[in-house]
Amino acid sequence: MMRMAGRGWLRLTAIALSLLVFGGIGWAALAPIEVALHDELFEIPHGTYARRMAGEKIEILPHTIRLTLGLNDVLLLRNKDDVPHIFGPTLIMPGQSFSLPFALASTYSFQCTAHANGQLNVIVAPNPAPGWERLRWRLHKLTSAMWQLPESHHH
C-alpha cells in the first residue's frame, strides 16, 4: 500500500509538471499580446538647431521606422528644441508632440525635409499571429529581459 501511495503522488507530480509546461506553452503561443503603451518615441533634444547651425550633422529620425500593430503602432514625435522642426509629415512647434496612430499593416512613405533623400518610411507589420509567431515574440522578450538588452529603439 505504501508503494502504491508513493507512485500515485509521483504520477500526480509528473502530470502537474507536464500540464504546467504545456499549459505555459499554450498560453505563450495563443494568448493575445497586450502592452500598456503603444508609443514608439522619437525626440528632438534641446539645442539641436543650435548644433545644426554650428555645422554638426545630426540625424534624429532613421530613414525607416518599424512598427507592429497592437504593440508599438503609435509614432510619437516630440520636439524639445527651441525652434519648430519639420519632422516626418509635419511641422512640430517647440514643446509640442505629434502622435500618429497606425491601424493598417503596410509601408507608408512621408516626405520629410529633415532627411537627406527627403523621405521617411514607416513599415507597419501585422500583430504576431497566434501560434509560432507569438511564441517566438514572447521568447524574444524573455531573453531580452534576461540579458537586459534594450527592447525598442528610442532616439
Partner 1 sequence: MRLNRTRLTNQAAALLLSLLFTGAFITAPADGSAPQQLKAGVFTPPYMAPEFSLRGTNGSDVTLARYRGKVVLLTFGYTNCAAVCPTTLATLSQTRSSLGKAANMVQVIYVTVDPERDTVARIREFLAAFDPSFVGATGTPAALAAVRQKYGVTATKQGSGRDYAMAHTSSIFLIDRAGKLRALMPFGHEAADFVHDIKSLSAQ
Rounded least distance, CB 37 to partner 1, Å: 6
The owner of cell 539645442 is: 47
Site for partner 1 in 11-50 (CB under 8 A): 11-12, 15-16, 19-20, 22-24, 26-27, 30-32, 34-38
Per DSSP, helices labelled H in 42-105 are 48-53
Question: Which CA distances in Å does 7 have to 11, 13, 14, 28?
Answer: 6, 10, 10, 31
Dmax (CA) of the chain:
88
Per DSSP, helices labelled H in 31-68 are 48-53
Rounded least distance, CB 45 to partner 1, Å: 18
Q: Looking at beta carbons only, is 119 or 144 nearer to partner 1?
A: 119
Residues that bind partner 1 (CB under 8 A): 1, 4-5, 8, 11-12, 15-16, 19-20, 22-24, 26-27, 30-32, 34-38, 74-75, 84, 86, 89-93, 95-101, 103, 108, 110-111, 113, 118
